[in-house]
Chains A and B, each alone.
Chain A
């Protein structure tokens, strides 16, 4: 982890009509960091992440991702990030290999690179036998791991993960986090939203959003100290109970 900032946000805000989904959030993420983005349902995590990825235009405030401005240079940002949405993002009617080929191709990887990288990913996931199977035939945990591998297939500077472990079993979650660590070690910055407080412990720093605002931002250890509790669970509950907004 270096001091180079790859994501900066200053008073970033998103309004939908008279509803303020994200209310003037400010934070910085360093290169190689695993940054946890926590919050109850409807707290505004996904909206904030979508603004950073160039999927949603901010109402006001400033933000840069990989050194590019979110307003004017969103297409440049897109070259440098990977994204894994809550909704499953691979093509179910394509095979494992075809999905890798497609996403590699549209990020401009050469044929040779796509082949090499595909072999490597298949080996890492122990999925060589499944490479020609349709994605829809795979179990959910495998799909999620594959989706993550495809999101970082083009080796982006930053990868955004929106609740990547929703609905998968504890063993797979563990494996998934090992993959995240691996990516971070290779220099990829990981920006991840989650509901699971044990996962929050794995992050270098976490921010907790309540009603569109960032209410706390620090390392898990410091947060526990600050709120005088033994677990991240307690930290989260103390903050989230203050929420007025109804979960969606």
Chain B
């Protein structure tokens, strides 16, 4: 225990002596939490729409009004020529072209149906999908409107109408930030935990002080604990700062209890630091450690369910996410913050995380050799 005291004293001195690290630890969560959730937004707005109107009737006028009134679209051009509007798409000045054929109004009145053509710039798949879905929705509504206009007595409407009423649970205002902020917080904690530990130990390898440590009677587990504890504490500080930012900037207060979040975060950090430690036993230079961590983080974050739902991933990717600690943390933090889940609800994830912590740390301790 005395040895550990000296080790911890040394680690804390070194960490706080490096102003860059302290700044990183304090500024990173604050800046990233303020910037990212505002920018990382799925809602597609300002879709640039070009309309080719060959009809020029009151119906097309009404439809165009309805589209622009929706707020999602920005009309970039109305003309008679499809080729002209296509040029806008090529210059990236239009996302969707809506072509209204000549005699649209006449056809719809006479034949009860009329075709429309939609050309979508599908380079950005999400934008294209959502944009065309919005547009279809508006046109469908418009279609219904004119039909109700025709048949004054809805009772005899030949088109049965199904009205759907929504009730959005847990996030009633569909507040995107309520979903993103906890997720980003989870990623931040991961970065601090995994990067810092691995770099710290590899730095000792690079400078050569680790050899000096290896020639002392320090016990392996003391040395490793001496490295883990400071970053474990720093991780919890970052998490606390993060919740502070979430509260002040976004007004997000977890529905569940902080005890649940911190209990899980403590185990999660343990697993994560174990991973950092493991990386450091394989890497010989800080550059190597950085690259390995970066590689792992990319996979973990992209397959962690932060941006894209794990449920819609292919089977093999879902299988990978089972071995991705960050996926569990993002899931749990969202459950607790948004849904108010309790310790009992997350007990399965907590148990799995304990498993991660034991395996990763065990592997790291096994792999860390005082003697070559």
| Interface of A toward B, CB cutoff 8 Å | 50, 53-57, 74-75, 78-79, 81, 83, 85, 87-94, 98, 101-103, 105-108, 134
B212 to chain A, nearest CB (A): 4
B14 touches A91 (CB 8 A): yes
0/1 per residue, B210-224, Cβ < 8 Å to A? Answer: 011111111000000
CA of A74 to CA of B372, assembled, Å = 12
B147 to chain A, nearest CB (A): 77
Other A-B pairs, 20, CB within 8 Å; known A78-B216, A94-B10, A108-B3: A50-B372, A55-B214, A56-B372, A57-B372, A74-B371, A83-B212, A83-B215, A87-B208, A88-B207, A88-B208, A89-B211, A90-B209, A93-B17, A93-B18, A94-B13, A98-B10, A102-B6, A105-B5, A105-B9, A106-B213
B14 touches A78 (CB 8 A): no
B208 touches A55 (CB 8 A): no
A91 touches B371 (CB 8 A): no
B208 touches A107 (CB 8 A): no
Chain B residue numbers with a CB within 8 Å of A87 are: 207-208, 211
A167 to chain B, nearest CB (A): 14
Q: How many A-B residue pairs lie within 8 Å, measured between CB atoms?
A: 77
- For residue B365, CB closer than 8 A to chain A, the reply is no
B207 touches A92 (CB 8 A): yes
A108 touches B2 (CB 8 A): yes
B218 to chain A, nearest CB (A): 5
A53 touches B217 (CB 8 A): no
A101 touches B6 (CB 8 A): yes
CA of A93 to CA of B19, assembled, Å = 12
A54 touches B215 (CB 8 A): yes
- For residue B370, CB closer than 8 A to chain A, the reply is yes
CA of A89 to CA of B205, assembled, Å = 11
> In chain B between 14 and 50, which residues have their CB closer than 8 angstroms to a CB of chain A?
14, 17-18
B205 to chain A, nearest CB (A): 10
Chain B residue numbers with a CB within 8 Å of A92 are: 207
CA of A101 to CA of B208, assembled, Å = 19
Identity of the chain B residue whose Cβ is nearest the Cβ of A47 in the assembled complex: B372
Identity of the chain B residue whose Cβ is nearest the Cβ of A151 in the assembled complex: B212
B215 touches A55 (CB 8 A): yes
A94 touches B371 (CB 8 A): no
Chain A residue numbers with a CB within 8 Å of B14 are: 91, 93-94
Chain B residue numbers with a CB within 8 Å of A105 are: 2-3, 5-6, 9
- For residue B7, CB closer than 8 A to chain A, the reply is yes
CA of A91 to CA of B216, assembled, Å = 15
Can you list 25 A-B pairs with a CB-CB distance of less than 8 A? A50-B372, A54-B370, A55-B371, A78-B215, A81-B215, A85-B215, A87-B207, A87-B208, A88-B208, A89-B208, A90-B212, A91-B209, A92-B207, A93-B18, A94-B13, A94-B17, A98-B10, A101-B9, A102-B10, A105-B2, A105-B3, A105-B5, A105-B6, A107-B216, A107-B217
B6 touches A55 (CB 8 A): no
A74-B371, A98-B13 are contacts. A106–B215 as well, Cβ < 8 Å? no
CA of A234 to CA of B289, assembled, Å = 46
Most buried by A among B9, B14, B208, B215: B215
The one of A79, A89, A134 that contacts B217, using a Cβ cutoff of 8 Å: A79
Identity of the chain A residue whose Cβ is nearest the Cβ of B211 in the assembled complex: A85
A103 touches B17 (CB 8 A): no
A55-B372, A56-B371, A108-B2 are contacts. A91–B211 as well, Cβ < 8 Å? no
Chain A residue numbers with a CB within 8 Å of B6 are: 101-102, 105-106
CA of A106 to CA of B1, assembled, Å = 10
Chain A residue numbers with a CB within 8 Å of B370 are: 54-55
CA of A89 to CA of B212, assembled, Å = 6
